[in-house]
A and B are shown apart, each in its own frame.
Chain A
Amino acid sequence: MNTETTNIASSNKMTTRNVDVFYGEKQAINGVSIDIDMENVTAFIGPSGCGKSTFLRTMNRMNDTIPSCRVTGEITLDGEDIYAPSMDVVQLRARVGMVFQKPNPFPKSIYDNIAYGPRIHGLASGKDELDQIVEKSLQRAGLWNEVKDRLNESGTALSGGQQQRLCIARAIAVDPEVILMDEPCSALDPIATAKIEELIHELRGKYAIVIVTHNMQQAARVSQRTAFFHLGTMVEYGDTSEMFTNPQEERTRDYITGRYG
């Protein structure tokens, strides 16, 4: 499994250095430095309102849609500063995909949902190739067998868990390097959650994966690296197994043992 990273020069796919995020005057994130690599799934945990989702959104500049939001510090993708003027935000978001808390399939057919990204980015040269991308993306998201006979049905007609896997397939279809997942299972039932977690396992190594979750068991199950956020700062970052058995910081220990959160 660890041999899958051969085509990546550095093992650090994304790095952040001293990132601050402000909403107007209010500071939401304070000096976060973190490295994301290809081999491991990274989990961001912390009590709600701690800024983990905010931070995640800065990593593909989705926070650009909020006018009052300002980011300082450095975030790089393959060594390129993603906030540099030379970085094109449209391309960045194609390379750094995102899956949201609530499944948000477009009110289009399943096929068109998956084909949306490849179409706008011009990744397929013809109908056959597009068909292939759609099929492979759905296969990789573990949804192909369930939907292959009804690709023309609306994506919104699927169950919640299927919708979320559709959204993952949609993100995969543009061949991203990083996939950011913002509490992808919080709107799903336990069985659907288990399927998504299984999927994350399978995707590991092919994409750098960052998952925000408020569910510590989930972090323990799917991730190899965990970052604990509290009040806009990153308190601790390390191996998941280490973090959950032997946290270095008092606050982390309190959170993991359920004192607050």
Chain B
Amino acid sequence: MNNPASPASSETAMIGSRSTDWHGEAMQKRIARRYAAERRFKYLGLSAIVISSLFLAFLLFVMIGNGIKGFSTTQVAVPIDFASATGGASPDQIRGEDAERALNSLDISGIVNTAIEIEYGADAADIFTENSWTDVRDALLSNPDMIGENTTVWLTAKSEIDRAAKDDTDEKFEALYAKLKDAGKAQSGFNWGFLTGADGTDPARVGIWGALKGSIITMLVTLALAFPVGVLAAVYLEEYAPSNRITDFIEVSINNLAAVPSIIFGLLGLVVFLSWLELPRSSALVGGLVLALMTMPVIVIAGRNSIKSVPPSIREAALGVGASPVQVVFHHVLPLALPGIMTGTIIGMARALGETAPLLMIGMRAFLTSPPQGLTDPSTVLPVQIYLWSDEVNRGFVEKTSAAIIVLLIFLLTMNAFAIYLRNRFETRW
């Protein structure tokens, strides 16, 4: 045996002697055991995925199941003889600019409450809220001719009646609703008020438009601040930044800001924007500022990755024909990197849209019954509205909270789907 490297090999039973009996019974059993372990492991992995997905499905199922009811409303009929009640007011009186004042002077609330009293007597307080008459006011504003008629108006019923119409609640309201339904005095319909109204005390009359508008204004502020700053910072860091202490510090800051808990940004907003700079509390302006600080690092990081993926050959080609470094970036690199930057921006904005905690800190949790009119008005946003409603004791808010969640999720899913679409559509492999 000509093998100086392993002088001891002849002593070893194992190596080189082909002593392993691959077909032996023990080895076959071992193999079977190993394959069983393989299958178990694989199913473990599969079940991890399936359970995670099922959780998501269950969450969506619960939210949709609860929320879909929030989009319908129950109305109860009230016959009102406007002509006699108003003493013969003419439709022209309540047209034009002074319509609202004219209506107030006609004491519509008194007329409606009297009509309700006549029709339903002792049950009135269980069927309607003290704000039900505003439905009539709104109807008159849109259709002044009604003032001369003897007609039946449909008023939004109290939340308890609404819930009795949808699922089980306490027996009293079930019975009351059954009575109304049998008399043909109750109907269900799509709850337009939910999409056009603002917060309120009666869950049957609340809407999300106030919060949604607040969200939109806040997001516009965030986008207007975070996008330019984020893109410019990404360009600077990726293309021009010299390697020195300041650059290092900027990079550490950005990576760190991206990972700071959101509530810390709320504290920053509370101290710096509200306390030191004395910007208006609860306003979309401050909310947008805080969210912009949170979103900017996301855009910077996405922007840098996107700029990095533009191949150096493009830069060299542009430099080669005599473009200045600034022209290279703004004429060539940035346009090519834009889809990636957009994707990152949309994802960052989607995260900002769902953010709640920092906005609680700066007071965007006010009870607001009308939508904000500007940047400095007290506002709330959709996620905060969800949080506020979730805290309400009245069971009628459960379906409204879930319905608001559905609206929020639709927005977020649309944004994320668009981001994924952009990524797939423009993903270039250099």
- Contacting pair A172 B15 (CB below 8 A): yes
Within 8 A of A (CB), among B2-21: 2-6, 8-9, 12, 14-20
- Contacting pair A175 B31 (CB below 8 A): no
Bound CA span A90–B30, Å: 11
Within 8 A of B (CB), among A94-128: 94-95, 120-124
Stretch at the interface among A16-24, A28-36, A136-144, A248-256: A136-144
A88 within 8 A of B: yes
Bound CA span A139–B9, Å: 9
- Contacting pair A129 B22 (CB below 8 A): no
- Contacting pair B9 A140 (CB below 8 A): yes
- Contacting pair B14 A133 (CB below 8 A): yes
**In the complex, which residues of chain A have a beta carbon less than 8 angstroms from the beta carbon of B34?**
90, 120
Chain B min CB distance to A172 (Å): 7
**In the complex, which residues of chain B have a beta carbon less than 8 angstroms from the beta carbon of A206?**
3, 16
User: Taking CB as reference atom, which chain A residue is nearest B38?
Assistant: A90
Bound CA span A120–B34, Å: 9
Contact with A along B380-410 (1 / 0, CB 8 A): 0000000000000000000000000000000
- Contacting pair A7 B18 (CB below 8 A): yes
- Contacting pair A175 B14 (CB below 8 A): yes
Bound CA span A172–B17, Å: 12
Bound CA span A141–B9, Å: 12
- Given A122-B30, A129-B14, A172-B15, residue A91 in contact with residue B22 (CB < 8 A): yes
- Contacting pair A95 B15 (CB below 8 A): no
B183 within 8 A of A: no
**In the complex, which residues of chain A have a beta carbon less than 8 angstroms from the beta carbon of B35?**
90
Picked from B3, B4, B8, B14, the residue with its CB within 8 Å of the CB of A123 is: B14
Bound CA span A259–B35, Å: 50
Give the size range of B's interface with the partner. 20 to 34
A64 within 8 A of B: no
Bound CA span A1–B8, Å: 17
User: Taking CB as reference atom, which chain A residue is nearest B2?
Assistant: A1
- Contacting pair A199 B5 (CB below 8 A): yes
Bound CA span A129–B19, Å: 14
Chain A, interface SS category: helix
**In the complex, which residues of chain A have a beta carbon less than 8 angstroms from the beta carbon of B6?**
136, 139-140, 202
**In the complex, which residues of chain B have a beta carbon less than 8 angstroms from the beta carbon of A141?**
5
A4 within 8 A of B: yes
- Contacting pair B31 A91 (CB below 8 A): yes
Give the size range of A's interface with the partner. 20 to 34
Bound CA span A250–B428, Å: 45
- Contacting pair A136 B31 (CB below 8 A): no
A72 within 8 A of B: no
**In the complex, which residues of chain A have a beta carbon less than 8 angstroms from the beta carbon of B9?**
136, 139-140
**In the complex, which residues of chain B have a beta carbon less than 8 angstroms from the beta carbon of A174?**
20
- Contacting pair B22 A139 (CB below 8 A): no
Within 8 A of B (CB), among A131-152: 132-133, 136-137, 139-142
User: Taking CB as reference atom, which chain B residue is nearest A206?
Assistant: B16
Chain B min CB distance to A61 (Å): 15
Chain B min CB distance to A134 (Å): 10
A37 within 8 A of B: no
B321 within 8 A of A: no
**In the complex, which residues of chain B have a beta carbon less than 8 angstroms from the beta carbon of A182?**
none
- Given A90-B34, A129-B14, A133-B14, residue A175 in contact with residue B3 (CB < 8 A): no
B1 within 8 A of A: yes
**In the complex, which residues of chain A have a beta carbon less than 8 angstroms from the beta carbon of B31?**
88, 90-91
Chain A min CB distance to B2 (Å): 6
Picked from B12, B18, B22, the residue with its CB within 8 Å of the CB of A132 is: B12
Chain A min CB distance to B9 (Å): 6
**In the complex, which residues of chain A have a beta carbon less than 8 angstroms from the beta carbon of B17?**
175
Q: Give A contacts to B, CB under 8 Å.
A: 1, 4, 7, 88, 90-91, 94-95, 120-124, 129, 132-133, 136-137, 139-142, 172-175, 177, 199, 202, 206
Q: Which 6 pairs show the lowest CB-CB distances between chains A and B?
A: A140-B6, A139-B6, A136-B15, A142-B5, A136-B12, A91-B22
Q: Give B contacts to A, CB under 8 Å.
A: 1-6, 8-9, 12, 14-20, 22, 27, 30-31, 34-35
In the complex, 16 of the A-B residue pairs with CB atoms within 8 angstroms, ordered by the A residue number, are A4-B1, A95-B22, A122-B27, A136-B8, A136-B12, A139-B5, A140-B5, A140-B6, A142-B5, A174-B20, A175-B15, A175-B16, A175-B18, A177-B18, A202-B5, A202-B6
